[in-house]
Copies of this chain bind each other. A is one copy, B any other.
Amino acid sequence: MPFGYNGKVLRVDLSTREIEVETPSEVFYRTYMGGSSLALAYLLRELKPGVDPLGPENILVFASSVLSGIPMGGMARFTVAARSPLTGLFGEAEAAGFWGPELKHAGFDAIVIKGRANKPVYLWIHDGEAEVRDASHLWGSDTGATQEGIRKELGDNLIRVAVIGQAGENLVRYACVVNNLKHANGRTGMGAVMGSKKLKAIAVRGRQKLEVKDPDGLRGISQSLVEAVKTHPGEQTLQKLGTPSFIMPLNMGGILPTRNFTRSQFEGAQKISGETMEETLSLGNEGCYACAVRCKRKVSSKERYEVSPDYGGPEYETLASLGSCLGIDDLEAIAKGNELCNRYTLDTISTGMSIAFAMECFEGGLITLDDTEGLELTFGNADAMVQMIEGIALRRGLGDLLAEGVKRAGEKLGGEAKKYALHIKGQELPLHDPRGKFGVGLGYAISPTGADHIESAHDPFFQQTGAGLESISPLGVLEPVPALEAGAQKVRLFRHTQLIWNLWNCLGICNFIAQPPWALSLNDVVKTVLCVTGWNTSLFELMKVSDRGMAMARMFNLREGFGRKEDIWPERLFEPLPDGPNKGQTFTKQDLEEAKDLYYEMMGWDRENGEPTRGKLFELNLEWLLE
């Protein structure tokens, strides 16, 4: 060191409107690399424990990575992080699209935002400069109007804008941040944090060429990736159908969450499948910066619902959260719901799960027609879903309660309602039933951000067939592990793949370009870092970066008072799997507790509370956390 990686971090205090540019050392960049890890390095140093997530003391970090902005597919993700208003814990969410690379081209790796503006503002960042601008005229607008307004005002249609809509302004606890109208930093309520700071948007534009230490080497990897995508079965499926392609296999596997997880197969699955979407609403596919896969859907409709093609098509999670999990088989309604979520900036998972909770309460008599102002909030009612989305975003009627998330809503309603509130650490369950894949379930329990499906590779996809095993063999995983197993081999596999997925959160790599079986191999990722930065790195070092990020997230939560006892499933997940080939399958509390024992020890965390040991913190260069 140094090899010459230069990066800048923009610091903005919205209370004082002060703007500073920081140039961290190369050792800092090589230690944290970007994304969630880089964000945590700031949050743990500068954010005091116990502050109001929606108060001015919260710190909001937008972080790309040392790889972001390079002309290569799958490198476009960035992180938004802060203390979460939904969970009270470390909050983070990633999105791809074009915004992250544009931030890099504008001269910055990350933005650290403090304070609260006294009136609505937006940030305008371009070519190494930044300014805080008035956004009073944009307040109350949805994402589309806001993006258009800013582009017009600044006179450049290529400006990339990360925005909140009304849900963010109204502090819906699971409001998200959306860029290009369709790419969402979805979970943990980062949009509400923006709203609390009166920060309507961050607009970025840049023409700086990124320095790449070995351009020929990088070109080689990038071109190989483009070629690999052309024949790779997984990538081809994503290109043709996107994540909606998951609906049918998950339904056949009996792990498609249906009617608030009371069923695990949906009789209307075919109607909301990727195949059906392709035949009906689809206008084709779209992609993120420099990506050859182009897995995003573009849809439209002008029949029962007018669906704009500008807000993207529903992903798998949305088809399940607004579809099967609500008993809704109306694809057009789901597409409309997706559009509304992207307009208002609502996380589709938490939104759907909040409505699912309400529907189960309604059917159980815990919410009445009085509460819903006459709306028949039953499973299967597509119109009710669409109306509830608007209600939540605008905090109208019952929507105001649901805008708080199922944990708080369940506690308010009390009694049986608490059982229907399917959340972990306050965050609503994603749409993969862990009773059929224990690794995903362990990820739900252990994720620092509450229930999260992006914790580890989705085991059944590669283990039942053994396909993909070779691609994870660089991790030392040499033998297949059955999906339904809860033992030590599964915990080991989970831990290794979790570190990989968290590494993607640090490097800004897409899980769909680099998940098993990867089109981009693990060793290609190592080479990519080497080519871009000139660092003589290794998978060992990169795994340590990820391990470090995991330990930092754990430390964040421990200082907020959360530990082992919060790493738990809601009761319903301990009930037998209701449908499908593995009907009756259960994992016990003991299974989960034993897996946690092993997991903590594998991580170098103590068994009592999952706290990283002193030695582990030192090993990871995190001695500063002991101060």
Contacts and interface: CB of A to CB of B under 8 A. Distances in A.
Contacts of A27: 478-479
Contacts of A526: 538
Interface stretch (A148-156, A256-264, A488-496, A505-513): A488-496
A475 interface: yes
A508 to B, nearest CB: 19
A444 interface: no
Contacts of A15: none
A217 to B, nearest CB: 13
Q: Which of A471, A474, A544 has the most CB of B within 10 A?
A: A474
B470 A1 contact: yes
Interface string A525-566: 010000000011111110111000000000000000000000
Contacts of A537: 473-474
A597 interface: yes
A621 interface: yes
Interface string A452-477: 00000000000000000111011110
Interface residues of A, number: 47
A615 interface: yes
Interface string A586-627: 000000000001111110100000000111101101010000
A29 to B, nearest CB: 10
A619 B473 CA distance: 14
A474 B495 CA distance: 21
A516 to B, nearest CB: 12
Given A538-B538, A540-B476, A602 B621 contact: no
A488 B626 CA distance: 12
A619 B492 contact: yes
Contacts of A616: 601-602
A402 B523 CA distance: 53
Nearest to A544: B476
B598 A475 contact: no
Contacts of A545: 476
A381 interface: no
B522 A1 contact: no
Contact of A540 (B474, B479, B601): B474
Contact of A615 (B536, B540, B597): B597
Nearest to A543: B540
Nearest to A613: B601
A30 interface: yes
A368 interface: no
B536 A476 contact: no
Copies in the complex: 2
A599 B615 CA distance: 7
A618 B492 contact: yes
Nearest to A619: B602
Interface in A164-219: none
A146 interface: no
A332 B364 CA distance: 97
Given A492-B618, A597-B615, A600-B615, A538 B539 contact: yes
A2 B469 CA distance: 11
B614 A597 contact: yes
A492 B548 CA distance: 14
A236 interface: no
A237 interface: no
A521 interface: yes
Contacts of A469: 1
A473 B618 contact: no
A600 B535 CA distance: 29
A27 B469 CA distance: 13
A350 B623 CA distance: 39
Residue among A471, A478, A489, A614 facing the most chain B CB atoms (10 A cut-off): A478
A619 B474 contact: no
Contacts of A495: 619
A345 interface: no
B536 A621 contact: no
A81 to B, nearest CB: 23
A31 interface: yes
Contacts of A538: 474-475, 522-523, 526, 538-540
A535 B473 contact: yes
A598 B618 CA distance: 8
A495 B473 CA distance: 24
Interface string A215-228: 00000000000000
A617 to B, nearest CB: 9
A598 B621 contact: no
Contacts of A535: 473
B615 A601 contact: yes
Given A488-B618, A492-B621, A599-B615, A536 B473 contact: yes
Contacts of A1: 469-470, 473, 478-479
A521 B540 contact: no
Contacts of A541: 473-476, 539
Interface of A: 1, 27, 30-31, 469-471, 473-476, 478-479, 488-489, 491-492, 495, 521-523, 526, 535-541, 543-545, 597-602, 604, 613-616, 618-619, 621, 623
Given A521-B536, A526-B538, A604-B604, 5 more contacts: A1-B473, A476-B545, A539-B539, A540-B543, A601-B615
| 3 closest Cβ pairs, A-B complex | A601-B615, A474-B538, A538-B539
17 contacts: A1-B469, A1-B479, A31-B478, A471-B536, A473-B536, A474-B536, A474-B537, A474-B540, A476-B540, A476-B541, A476-B621, A492-B619, A522-B538, A526-B538, A538-B538, A539-B541, A602-B618
